[in-house]
Amino acid sequence: MAIDSEHPDYTKRKVQWQKLRDCNEGQEAVHAAGVKYLPKLSGQSDAEYKAYVNRSLFYGATARTVDGLTGMIFRKAPQIEVPEGLKKMIADVTLDGLDLTGFAEEVVEDVVEVGRCGILVDHPATPAGATQAQAEASNIRPFLKHYDAEAIFNWKTASRNNALVLTQVRLWECAPTGT
């Protein structure tokens, strides 16, 4: 199996996810997709088609629905109780300033929009010989990473102790480019 091979469920759903993302984005995204969503009529010139697209309206109910459902879930602030030692971590679960509630809102919004997403819990290795205090000072601690459904392109599961468990996940990631 090639390293970039897609899981059959991913292949089946990625077109659906793109439609959902475009509908959530609104009229501009639907218009930008052109014939994908607004087929060209037979005998229509390019200029006529462009005018046809510009006249067409897309009612943005998708984004309103996603926002409304997400808002309903978070209309009351979550009550988070953790030991004192974890409060700093809860205040910044992604290592870029996002707290646990904000992270949960991102995840819920993605699940409402397309039906799934992924959360990776990563814990970098502490350098050999480093104390817990040194690791904390260097911000070496567990953190959460949110992945859109489209970024999780392949996975494997296996039965372990009578439970189906994830044994492999393949992710699309973009490395930051230097400036």
Measure the CA–CA gap between 108 and 78, rounded to whole angstroms: 13
Under the banding of pLDDT at 50, 70 and 90, the label for residue 178 is low
Which residue type is seen at 30?
A: V
pLDDT above 90: residue 133: no
Q: Can you tell me which residue has the tokens 């911000």?
A: 139
Gap between the Cα atoms of 22 and 41, Å rounded: 22
CA distance 169 to 151: 10
How confident is the prediction for the chain on average, in pLDDT?
Answer: 92
Percent of the chain residues past pLDDT 90, beyond the cut: 80
pLDDT of residue 127: 81
Q: What is the pLDDT of residues 17-65, one digit of tens each?
A: 999 999 999 999 999 999 999 999 999 999 999 999 999 999 989 999 9
Per-residue model confidence as pLDDT tens digits over 52-98: 999 999 998 999 999 999 999 999 999 999 999 889 899 999 999 99
> CB–CB of 64/27 below 8 Å?
no
pTM for the whole thing?
0.83
Give the residue ranges of DSSP H helices in the chain. Answer: 8-25, 27-32, 46-55, 61-73, 87-91, 100-114, 132-137
Query: 108 and 74 in contact (C-beta within 8 Å)?
Result: yes
Q: Hey, which residues does 164 pair with through a beta bridge? A: 159
Rounded Cα gap, residues 34 and 122, in angstroms:
40
CB under 8 Å, gap of 24 or more: what pairs does 102-110 form?
Answer: 103/144, 103/146, 104/74, 104/78, 105/70, 105/74, 106/146, 107/146, 108/70, 108/73, 108/74, 109/66, 109/70, 110/146, 110/148, 110/149
- Phi/psi at 167 (nearest 5 deg)? -115, -15
The C-alpha R_g of the chain, in whole angstroms, comes to 22
